[in-house]
Each structure stands twice: as structure tokens, then as C-alpha cells.
Amino acid sequence: MTDAAYPEKKAATEKKTGRARAFGAFEWLLAMRYLRSRRREGIVSVIAGISFAGIMLGVATLIIVMSVMNGFRTELLSRILGLNGHMFVQGIGTNIMNYDTVADRVRAVPGVTSVIPLVDGQVMVQSARNASGALVRGMREKDLQGLGIVSENVTVGSLAGLDEGGVAVGSRLAANLGLTVGDNITLLSPKGAITPFGTAPKVGAFPIRAIFEIGMSEYDSSFVFMSLDEARAFFRTYEGVSALEIRIENPDRVNDAVKPIAIAAGPCCTVVTWQQRNESFFSALQVERNVMFLILTLILIVASLNIISGLIMLVKDKGRDIAVLRTMGATRGAVMRVFFLSGASIGVTGTLAGFALGLVFCLNIETLRQWLSDLSGTELFSPEVYFLSHMPAEVDAGEVTAVVLMALFLSFAATLYPAWRAASLDPVEALRYE
């Protein structure tokens, strides 16, 4: 009797004041009561629960996947740029002979933070135990010491005295060859001396002075650093270098620095950016990220469709109640708000639960990965496949906000048609056929 009388009093109050209260206590009470499970309309509560779980998992999955993709790109980018620099000045068809002069001119360009001359080449590394391909990079000791991604991750030995001879190798390469600091490593280069019988391979043995671990398996298993003078002699570049490695203040705007650096380097040199060197790799990451976002958005759409189906069934079951409320003075707006609240409450609670679940998962993703790996007895994030030694996750506030707003929009949009249908129900027809 109280619930039936309230709409009549409410309508009189609205008529007297000339305005309607949005989402009154009675509307909240009725909306929540409709969602509670009862014997006759229990299927509605089941569908509501499925919709809640779908929205929660959809929001959480979107946040987790987008955060992992962001972390994956950031980690790869930081390691690639940390080891390879932002730009390279290379000679056209030959080595850069007067590299100190060219380096001074490039160093004077605004925005350039460092210029490092280097010599690099492909070699075969050998030990008594194994053999493997590797990339040798010759640098001055002071330049390698300033390369934080290497100097700060030396696990065994030291880079001090590298100009006097010796090499620094990656941890995975050392493990594959069964070598450690103090052992000799044999390097074999196909670019050797030219003899009457053809080109003789260049072979040299060097002591290992340091072992580093960057955390990216591709680099830890393939990079060897030596002094610039030894690299020039080994690869027979004489008084020249292979390239000048350049770092600038803002690597994202590297294309703006290409022209001034090319002018400073001179017409005998060409400039290559990190984006050109890794264009296909990062383009593939971006495409994969966009496709994953579209696919996972379907989870939210399916959950929203469940809200529509559940509310339509609820409207059908509550046809007589709606007719009674309308005859007692409830307005169409009040009825519409009741069913809007029924559906929106599912979407809001599911979105908030998914938001919390996604953040908790992202903040503890490496711990969860290790726990699942120990539980299943398998390696879930192999460094040989994903290049990284741990699973990264970087939560972007803008993306998380976009996911939450999208989930709320879909949830609210899903309630409009069932709520409009309930408000449009003719009381006379509903009571006649009831």
C-alpha cells in the first residue's frame, strides 16, 4: 500500500512544484527490488549476473591487455634506444674517415646530447663448447661507460681497462658458450685479408673482461663490445669508423633533427633514424594493439546486449505492476527512470569492479605470472619468444579513462530501449490482457 500510494503523492508534489526529482528514493527502491532474485522472475537475476560478470571481465581484460601492450612497447623502446641510439650517420658506400671532425660538427647541432663513433660487424664467436653468431661493436671505453644500459648492468667483471684489450659479452651468449670472465673468446669475421686464393677469414682471440645483462634476450645473446682501436684493426676499417651514433633530447621528434644533422655531417654521409631501422617492428606492435582493442571491445558489447535482453524480459514480467503504477499516478518519466536504474546499476557496478580488478592485476602481473608458472610447471613468458626477461605493464590514465567511459556509455545506451518500452506501455491494455 505504501509503494502504491507513493507515486500518487509524488505526482502531486511534481505538479505543485512544477519540477520532477531525478532518481528519487522510490525509483531506486523499485529498481533494486526488480533485480533481486525471486522464484518467478529468477531468470532475470541470472541474466543480470551474467551481464555484470561480462562487463567486469571486459573492462578488466581491456585494461590489462592495453597496459601490457604499453609496457611491452615501452620496455622494448627503452632497450632498443638505450643500446642503439636515436640516429646514425653513415658514410655513403665507405667508412667515415675524418670521424672526429664530423662528430664535432654534429655535436654542435642544437638538441644533440652525444655523438659516439663506432665500428660494428657480424662475426662468428667460438669456444671449446659451442659456437654462435654475434654482433661486435667497437667503442671507446669512456663512451661505453656512459652507456648506462650496459655499464649499469654489468653482472661479472668490469668495463675498466677495456681500451687496453678484451671484450664485454652478453650473459646469454656467455652461458651458451660456457665462458666467464678471464676466459678467451674466439671471433671469426668473413672480412679478412685478400689473398691469391680469395678472402681469408679474420680470426682473433680476446679475453672476456665483463659480462652484462640488459634484460632483452636478443641483445644478451648476440652483443659483444670491444675497444674502438681493436675493432678498427679487426674489421680492417683502418682510420675510419662504420658510423656515428647520435642521441638527441627528444627521440619522438627525431625526424625534425634529420635535416640539420645531415647538413652538419656533409654530403658524403647519410642519416638513418631509429624509426627507419625498426619501422616494421613497431608498426606490427601498433597494429596488434589496435586489433586486440577492437576484439576485446566485443566482450563489452555482448555484455550490453545481455542487459537489453534481461531488461526486456523484466518489462514483460512487470507489465501489470507498471500498469498499476501508471494508474496510481506514476509518470512515464518515473517508470523510465526505474528501468534505466535497473540496467545502469549493472553497468556501473560491473565497470567499477572491472576497473579495480584490472588495476590490481596490472600492479601485480609479474608476481601472478611467476605464481602461475610455478603452478603449471611451464614458462608463461619465455624471454626467447618475447625478448624480455619479465612481463611489463604500464597503466595509462587516459586509456583507462577511455575504457571506463566506453563501458558506461554502452551500459547506459543498452537501457534506453527497454526503459522507453516500459514507459510506453498502455495501462489499459496491460490490465485488460493480464
Q: Strand 202-212 and strand 167-170: pairing?
A: parallel
Q: What is the pLDDT along the chain (434 residues), one digit of tens a residue?
A: 444 444 444 444 444 443 445 566 767 777 677 666 555 555 666 777 788 888 888 899 889 888 888 888 777 777 777 788 888 988 887 888 888 888 889 988 898 888 899 998 888 888 877 888 889 999 998 888 888 888 888 888 888 888 888 899 998 899 888 888 888 888 888 776 665 555 667 788 899 999 998 877 778 888 999 999 888 888 888 888 888 999 888 887 888 888 899 888 888 888 888 888 877 777 877 788 788 888 888 888 888 888 887 777 777 777 777 777 777 777 777 777 887 888 888 888 889 999 999 999 888 887 887 777 777 777 666 655 555 556 778 888 888 898 899 888 988 888 888 888 777 776 666 566 55
- The β-bridge relationship of strands 87-91 and 243-248 is antiparallel
Residue 237 cell numbers, joined: 676499417
Helix axes 319-327, 2-17, angle to 10 degrees: 50
Q: Are 416 and 341 in contact (CB under 8 A)?
A: no
Quote the CA–CA distance of 219 and 134 in Å, as a whole number.
9
Q: What stretches of 37-166 adopt beta strand conformation (E)?
A: 87-91, 112-126, 131-139, 154-157
Q: How far apart are the first and last CA of the chain?
A: 20
- Which residues, other chains included, contact 250 with Cβ-Cβ below 8 Å and sequence gap of 6+? 111
pLDDT digits (tens, 9 = 90+) for 102-122: 888 998 889 888 889 999 888
C-alpha cell at 240: 675510419
Report residue 98 CA to chain centroid gap: 42
Q: What is the pTM of this model?
A: 0.67
Beta strands 198-199; 269-273: pairing state? unpaired
Distances (CA, A) of 241 to 140, 150, 165, 247: 12, 21, 18, 17
Residue 154: count of CB within 10 angstroms of its CB: 17
What percent of the chain is modeled with pLDDT above 70? 82
Q: Which cell is 77 given? A: 623502446
Beta-ladder partners of 223: 135
Encode pLDDT of 142-201 as tens digits. Answer: 888 888 888 888 888 888 888 888 899 998 899 888 888 888 888 888 776 665 555 667
Which pLDDT does position 38 carry in this prediction? 56
Q: Which 3 state secondary structure label does DSSP give 98?
A: coil
Q: What is the pLDDT of residue 297?
A: 83
